[in-house]
Structure formats: structure tokens, C-alpha cells
Amino acid sequence: MNIQKIRALSFDLDDTLWPIGPTLAKAEAALLAWFTQNTPKALSIYQDTALVSEIREVLKSQFKDKMHDLSAIRKELIREVLLRAEEPTSDVDQAFNAFFQARQSVHLYPDVIPALDKLSERFQMVALSNGNADIEQVGLGQYFAHAISAQEFGVAKPDPRIFQHTADCLKLQAQEILHIGDDAYTDILGAQGLQMPCVWINREERAWPGTGACPVTVKDLGELVRMLDL
């Protein structure tokens, strides 16, 4: 990697800037609370994990063209739960909004704000995510020139088209953008597929799970700042 050629950074969000597990747990709790208050017959169905897994598999088959859109799939899941509970499906959007608003309540890793402050002084930055976090609602909008989501673009990482779209938005070549993410497949192999430089953020110090040689790796964004000599 030639650091001198890097003019912009693209960041994955979930499990890169914040842990997704606790975030989704809060969102699921918010959805359960909504069911409890508004459509109680749906609660027992949604709490049946085997049944919900079965519904998810059916949705994967029915909506193959929407699997990049996590919000749409979540709404279809809620709709099916309400149907099976014989509750009004007109409430889908309200139920989804309860989930979605809680999903925007994230707890940033402690290294994130100090690093973004430093990095944004030197580089243009883009959020590039397969998830449905809203970068403005989570409080990081001021750092990013663009927020690109699979949901809005129409394809998900590792598809090279979404990485190319990132370069197009910045009016740069892919080789001038450094992508940072935690997922060996969607982030690292995806970026490599477009010959975009990339850094694997490995907070848990796991063994490299991908194919080929382990990429450039950092344990947190503070280490990334030091690597970029800021």
C-alpha cells in the first residue's frame, strides 16, 4: 500500500465504528415492547425463535432481489408476524419505526471520535455500509462527505459496483481510496476485487478468516491514525 497516494477513506459502520450486537439487542427489545403494547398476539409469534427463523428463510426465497435492503426485509418479517397473529398489517410501518429508531442508538468504540477528528483533517471520508444505520442519526454526519448504503444503491458489498460508486462519488480512482472494515468477505475481499487499498480492523485479534494472505491489519482506529502518520 502506498500511503502517499491515499486521498480519501471509506468506512464500514457496524462492528467497525460501533459493536452491532448491543445495538440490535436494543432494537429488538424496542420491537418487542411495541408488539406488547400494540399487537399483543404478535408477541408470542415473534418470541418463537424457530418460527421466526423459518419465516426468515421463506423471505430469503421470496425476496431474493431485496436482500441488500435490510429495512425492506425487516418490514416483510414484521408483516408476516402480524399476519400470522391476525393483527392489522397497517401497523407495519409503526412497528418498524420502533425498531429503526432504537437501531440508531449506537455506542461508539472509544477510539472512534478521536480518530475521526484526526482523519477528517486530512482526508475526505465516506460511510459505506450494507446495514441500515443513518449516519446523521447516530451523530457522525459531520465527518462524512457521503453516506452510501446497499439499501439505497441497490447492491451490497462485496459487489464491486458499490465500491466503484464510492470512487465515482468522490471523483477519485479506486486506488486513491482506503477502505476500512471488519468483515473479511464483504469489506476486504470486496475492496480487493476493485483493487482498492484496504485495512482490516480486527478488534478481537482473530485469525484471518479469508483466503490468501492476511491484509494490512489494525486493532482500532488509533492504530490506523498512527499507520497513516497523522
Rounded average pLDDT per 10-residue block, the chain, 230 residues: 91 98 97 96 94 94 90 96 95 96 97 98 97 96 97 95 96 97 96 96 94 93 92
Note the pTM of the prediction, 2 decimals. 0.93
- 77 with 89: CB under 8 angstroms? no
Q: Report the length, in residues, of the chain.
A: 230
- 196 with 163: CB under 8 angstroms? yes
* Structural domains of the chain, with CATH: 3-18+107-227 (3.40.50.1000), 21-103 (1.20.120.1600)
